Structure 1
Amino acid sequence: MRAIRSFCALCLFLASSLAAAANYTLWINGRTGGGAIGNYSDFNYWGPSTVAAGVNKKAVDWDGRNSIATQNGKVRDALDCFCTGTNWCYIVTHSAGDLMMGYTLANYGGSQRLKKNASPATGGVCGNSDGSSQLGWNIKWVRAASGAAGGSELSDAGSWTTSEPLVQDLKTSTARAMYNHNTTRNVWFYMYAAARGTAYSALLPGQDDEVVAYHSTGGVSGSSGSSCCNPGDWFCNDLTFGTAANQGGRAKWGWHSVVFRDDVENYNHYAGGSWGGIVGVVRSAVVNTAL
């Protein structure tokens, strides 16, 4: 009888543990920010919060102005909150959010993290769940809309406010040397490259979305930018799908795969507060996969 009671208690414990497990979709903004830091319900940067954007969606807001290093704690707080213990996360980034997430995994993804209870207090910090820790975070994948982990020539040219710390981080040589982009802790970065560039296209090599060129949005490796394009451009090497090296032989970073290339130049860089541009393409993919 005692054995039966023990077995039943174990079953109840396992059932309660499984019931507590949850998946979350974290959206990490890029330059300029726009949401209230620590308020995981503020989607002001992206668009109306009523729009579907993955299971248990959370806005991971940072100021989008200061350096990646000084703002990174805000992202780690969110990952600790929702991506430890029995909980798992899908991550979506936009623009400089890609640089932020890559930096986070490379520098902190191998550290011990206290398991949290997914119940954030004011400021976005969660309490400990059981006092135990784990190595890194539980992350299923990262989807990067117009990822700027390779930097932007707009920073190189001083097209933005040069006194802004984030602009200094976004210089192509600086962004590419900031951390080992191949170190993702075996987390896949799925890249979405937009090509509807206009005003600043002369400053950006190859295809671009008006802010970031294909060499960055496509996860192309190297210590500097390069010229990558859609098929059909005779004067520029093609950005290839998947993990394959690009035309001309330049490889992508490890664990980076191009899943969307804007061959018909329909999408620009900007969400526009309405889930627009390349962000809208990623959101549609997330709705169908972040379950």
Structure 2
Amino acid sequence: MRPTRPFCALCLFLASGVAAATNYTLWINGRAGGAVGAAGNYDDFSYWGPSSTPAGVNKKAVNWDGRSSIASQSGKVRDALDCFCTGPNWCYVVTYSAGDLMLGYTLANYGGSARLKKNASPNAAGVCGNSDGSSQTGWNIRWVRVAAGAAGGSELSDAGSWTTSEPLVQDLKTSTARAMYNHNTTRNIWFYMYAGARGTLYSGLLPGQDDEVIAYHSSGGVAGSAGRSLCNPRDWFCNDLTLGTAANQGGSTKWSYHSVVFRDDSEDYNHYINGNWGGIMGVVRSAVVNTAL
């Protein structure tokens, strides 16, 4: 019987290692005109809607103030990524509007840095303790799904349609957002883009198709130093935003590791969550429920 003991101990070790690995779904909010969830409280989904709504395995709300500059709030996102996306744990990440700019900036600037592995047990400030003292490069992220992505900025910010003294509004100017970091540097993580098109007359400042706040050039992950006019295929007076990674009609291209998986051809979805997972976010949430397992 003695020879079997080391083998059994090894089995128990391996089994415990598998059990320790956990998947999480992180939700990164966008600009906030009103209240946002409490920073550091990963269970506060008040920005999105009822917390009881399914939103991916082990869902966590990565709350930042939605008004300050991207650079000043990136630490909140890094804390969450360190907590839940290091060591044996992996993350699915969902971003909304300016949350796309936030995550892109964070990955480009910090995704190649050494990160201490954490224990996924945050304190009141949203910071987790070290697991074993070892580190890794960047974070374990399976994919990113982006609703109404604002990494390319918004012409509403250019025109001063929002409070111009707000630091985030300055960051969301199209030329500023596009020059803020190298948008092609995603650390080989795929960004799956969902572009809404239920615009209104108010959104006449936005080129091409839009969701009232973000135009297709941004929500479609289109590269370049400025925004351009892109539309649905049935619009004859505007170049098409293509699905997938293919170049758009007219020759514009998408940033590396960006793929359009939903284009709102029926113009059904606007920008607004409305406190109940609404607008284009509803499409993304449904996709997350089916894939973040």
TM bucket, shorter chain: over 0.9
> 2:30 maps to what in 1?
30
Give the letter for the 1:28 counterpart.
Answer: I
Superposed CA offset, 1:64-84 (max 9, x none): 000000000000000000000
| 2:82 aligned counterpart, secondary structure | helix
| 1:231 aligned counterpart, secondary structure | coil
After superposition, residues 94-243 of structure 1 pair within 5 angstroms as: 94-243=96-245
| 1:201 aligned counterpart, secondary structure | helix
Give the letter for the 2:19 counterpart.
Answer: A
Q: Is the 8 A contact 1:145 1:279 kept in 2?
A: yes
Question: How far apart, CA to CA, are the structure 2 residues paired with 1:9 and 1:189?
Answer: 41
Superposed CA offset, 1:96-116 (max 9, x none): 000001011111110110000
Superposed CA offset, 1:24-57 (max 9, x none): 0000000016111000001111100000000000
Question: How far apart, CA to CA, are the structure 2 residues paired with 1:263 and 1:43?
Answer: 30
Identity of aligned residues (%): 82
Using the TM superposition, give the Cα deviation of residue 7 of structure 1 relative to its aligned residue in structure 2, in angstroms. 2.5
Question: How far apart, CA to CA, are the structure 1 residues paired with 2:239 and 2:12?
Answer: 59
| 1:200 aligned counterpart, secondary structure | helix
| 2:204 aligned counterpart, secondary structure | coil
Question: How far apart, CA to CA, are the structure 2 residues paired with 1:211 and 1:56?
Answer: 30
Give the letter for the 2:67 counterpart.
Answer: R
Using the TM superposition, give the Cα deviation of residue 195 of structure 1 relative to its aligned residue in structure 2, in angstroms. 0.3
Structure 1: where are the runs of 5+ without partners? none
Q: Is the 8 A contact 1:115 1:132 kept in 2?
A: yes
TM-score between the two structures when normalised by the length of structure 1: 0.98
Question: How far apart, CA to CA, are the structure 1 residues paired with 2:282 and 2:220?
Answer: 17
Using the TM superposition, give the Cα deviation of residue 14 of structure 1 relative to its aligned residue in structure 2, in angstroms. 1.4
Give the letter for the 2:247 counterpart.
Answer: A
Using the TM superposition, give the Cα deviation of residue 199 of structure 1 relative to its aligned residue in structure 2, in angstroms. 4.3
Question: How far apart, CA to CA, are the structure 2 residues paired with 1:119 and 1:270?
Answer: 32
Question: How far apart, CA to CA, are the structure 1 residues paired with 2:99 and 2:48?
Answer: 13
Structure 2: where are the runs of 5+ without partners? none
User: Is 1:4 aligned with 2:16?
Assistant: no
Superposed CA offset, 1:177-200 (max 9, x none): 000000000000000000001143
Q: Is the 8 A contact 1:200 1:211 kept in 2?
A: no
> 1:56 maps to what in 2?
58
Using the TM superposition, give the Cα deviation of residue 273 of structure 1 relative to its aligned residue in structure 2, in angstroms. 0.6
Question: How far apart, CA to CA, are the structure 2 residues paired with 1:183 and 1:11?
Answer: 40
Q: Is the 8 A contact 1:108 1:136 kept in 2?
A: yes
Q: Is the 8 A contact 1:99 1:149 kept in 2?
A: yes
> 1:81 maps to what in 2?
83
Give the letter for the 1:15 counterpart.
Answer: A
Using the TM superposition, give the Cα deviation of residue 147 of structure 1 relative to its aligned residue in structure 2, in angstroms. 0.2
Question: How far apart, CA to CA, are the structure 1 residues paired with 2:253 and 2:202?
Answer: 26
